[in-house]
A and B are shown apart, each in its own frame.
Chain A
Amino acid sequence: MTLAFLLTLPLYGSLFHVRLVNEMAIFALFAIATNLMLGYGGTMPFGQAAFFGAGAYACGLLLMEAGVPLPLCLIAAGILSACLAVIIGFFSLRLTGIYFAMITLAFSMMIWGVVWKWRSFTGGDDGLVGIPLPSALAPVINYYYLCLGIVAFCMILLLTIVRSPFGSILQAIRENRVRTEFVGINVKRHLLIGFVISGFFCGVAGALFALLSRGAFTEYINYPTSVEVVLMCILGGVFSFAGPALGAVVVILLESLISSYTEYWLVIMGVVLILLVEFVPGGIVGLIRQRKGA
């Protein structure tokens, strides 16, 4: 049913709506990729914006400076983010819990700082503006379908990974690290691989967003982005596959609605966030499951 809605949207929705749903799809991918480490791996990654932003900038730079064809740009963005994840993960996974959260946050802020200052390469505060799309994709609707296709493909890959032995063991690590270690798993290495996979898909999401916005900006790497994607996962429900996607839809919808009504959208956003955090355990998926069960 959702599929039908998504596919037929351009027929009756305005361009604004199409673009909004496009954004939701991209962030849904971002959130689901993040949830690999959050809900499935049981860690608190607070620096995912680094991968999202890296993917965005990589894609933009490759397209603008090197004229690399689009498909390669996307893959390269993912690979670059994955490489970043190897480095960050190697150092961050030495610690657990809140310390892991802080270190990943620290690394992502470092990258933000570098990108912010390196005007000559990244455009600094102004960002990378004017990322070109091949003419076939320039119309909003065309890009929308391409994006949906890529996002769907990535999600299928992620779903496969989550259901595979790798995914089962990842969940076991979340449940009990010591026990998983003593059935013969090198926990750190397993988490690192999960982190890298997560980073890859976050990078792809970032690249897609850069193409959508025709630009890459430092906000993509800043800590609010990292916190927001975690928020999307929590809101939607971390213990399900599609929960984070739902969370992404809700957050983006809220932001869009609220900011169109009032200049003071931050405070409303904050209040809504606080209310949701206080009163909705298990996220939206948790609520749905409760209703079904009761």
Chain B
Amino acid sequence: MFERFTKEARVVVERAREEALDAGSPSIEAEHLLLALARRGSPALLEVGLDHASCLEALDDELTRSLAVAGVGWDAPVRSRATLNSPRFGASSKLALERALRVAVERGDRRLDARHVLLGVLRAELGTVPRALEGAGIDRAALAASV
């Protein structure tokens, strides 16, 4: 699947693996792609005030809100990656990368770069990323249009 990816897009995907490990996650999810994009400083994300720290904060806020729905409170984020194997791609990141490929095809782009990955992530209407962005007051459609 990665043969059409530019070097930059491959770096983002590899960085997403690190983000998953940092989150103590056994799988790479769409939010880890978002964090990886923010880590390298995506102009479109920065335009709406989303750097790596604010993405993490938005995702933690979404986690806190959704845990509260289940009647669970949590304070300090527990972060540990010392025992984790290299995470595999989870369903949400696979979907995001498939959508990124679709965006590239729709635009007639031969290569898939970091912007396509961002658009693939932003196409999700359900799940952690759209909920986190909504909670942070980000207009996902407007953000996608600016990429």
Q: Are A and B subunits of one complex?
A: no
Q: Give me the interface of B with A, judged by CB distance under 8 Å.
A: none
